[in-house]
Amino acid sequence: MIKSEKRYLLIDGREFVPSRLTGIGRVIMGFTDALQDRGPVYDTVLAIHDEDYVPPGLKNRSGIRFVKVGASFLKSERRLSLLTREADLFISPYPKLPVFGCACRAVNMVHDVLDLTCPAYKRRIKTVFDRYRLKQGLIRADLTWFVSEWSRQETEKLVGTCGSNPRVRYNGIDARFQPGMEEFMDDIIAGYGLSPGYILVIGNGKPHKNLGVLLEISTSLSRKLVFTGVPDVNRRYWQKRYPDEEAVWIRHVQDKDLASVIKSSFCVAQPSTAEGYGYPPLEAMACGVPVIVSNIPVLIETTSGNSLVADTFNPASWIDSFNRLEQEQLYKEYTVKGLEWIAPMIGSKGWKKHVADIRELLMEGT
């Protein structure tokens, strides 16, 4: 049984940056919030670059403290290692652990290994270093969370191990992604130059996001194609290859507006050639918006037959899927299926197994 005194959990929160909340940032926010909801036995310390970057929902929680670890890579890594000497457990939202060692029990998380396997992203020196840190982190961690079975298999294939205690744990979805009209929703999307009923694609637009399969058919679609979250350099990459495309490009949607932008869409499409988890389709399902995904193993796994599936590289297959969704009965069917699939992942209950894993580790340490 866990001792009655509070435990000191150290979480690497350096992912929090100005103006945007990344997928890993959402993991940190959701998991940390769920730890506080499960009772007062957890004192939580978030190692951060700057408290101004921390999402407002975490700032006022009584069980959370913040420690600045510096902005530079080496200084922050050294500071993290020193902090682990005082902690009962260190939780890393990355595959890696601190460069200068970890003095307490540790959990790490593998989202994907795309940076190490995809030719488009290979940087010779950094790839070697990151691969080494991945393998060492897996060997050293007392528990490793994989966000999908696909990520677990790809990791084992790459480095020959998935750790001594691997567990597949789907990430929770923020409770704000739920059906229903939000106040001022029309005004919010109008601020981005949008009208309801568009096909929405969310992501950074890197090559593995495979935007070309949709850009190729953008002039043939009856609905507007909208890309959000694509930096200018990546937008130019695609527009150079598809100069006749007809799409709306929104470089950044504020995180507080994202649910409204999703709810106002006709559907969310994810044409990726590779992913580790795929947040946008699941957030869309939670909002009651149907989803179309490419037929890659990880997206088929995480949507579990509750989305339409199109051929990753076949534009005609995507047109067919969009046309099928225009059927009212099919549209309602996939709306309901998505809501039912995602319901156990919403809010703190979506992190229930993660919190149970932490309780287990703390009991082992008593």
Q: Does residue 278 have a pLDDT over 60?
A: yes
Q: Does residue 9 have a pLDDT over 50?
A: yes
Residue-level pLDDT at 164? 94
CB–CB of 33/58 below 8 Å? yes
CA–CA distance, 45 with 29 (Å, rounded to integer):
13
CB–CB of 17/4 below 8 Å? no
Same domain? For 189 and 212 the reply is yes
Same domain? For 150 and 291 the reply is no
| Domain limits for position 252 | 185-345
Which of 314, 203, 317, 315 lies closest to 249, judged by CA? 203
Asked, for residue 180, whether it belongs to a domain, the answer is no
Same domain? For 215 and 358 the reply is no
Same domain? For 149 and 212 the reply is no
Q: Which of 69-73, 80-84, 219-223, 233-237 has the lowest mean pLDDT?
A: 69-73
Asked, for residue 83, whether it belongs to a domain, the answer is yes
Amino acid at 78: R
Same domain? For 21 and 118 the reply is yes
Same domain? For 163 and 98 the reply is yes
Which of 298, 319, 288, 294 lies closest to 308, judged by CA? 294
Which of 176, 183, 200 lies closest to 287, judged by CA? 176
What's the CA angle centered on 37, arms 15 and 148, to 5 degrees? 50
Tell me, what CATH number does 152's domain have?
3.40.50.2000
CA–CA distance, 266 with 222 (Å, rounded to integer):
11
Same domain? For 215 and 328 the reply is yes
pTM here? 0.92
Residue-level pLDDT at 168? 97
CB–CB of 277/302 below 8 Å? yes
Share of the chain above pLDDT 70, in %: 95
Asked, for residue 81, whether it belongs to a domain, the answer is yes
Residue-level pLDDT at 362? 87
Same domain? For 354 and 338 the reply is no
Q: Does residue 38 have a pLDDT over 60?
A: no
Mean pLDDT of 7-18: 90
Same domain? For 136 and 221 the reply is no
Same domain? For 300 and 233 the reply is yes
Average pLDDT for the chain: 92
Domains: count for the chain: 2
Same domain? For 237 and 139 the reply is no
Same domain? For 165 and 307 the reply is no
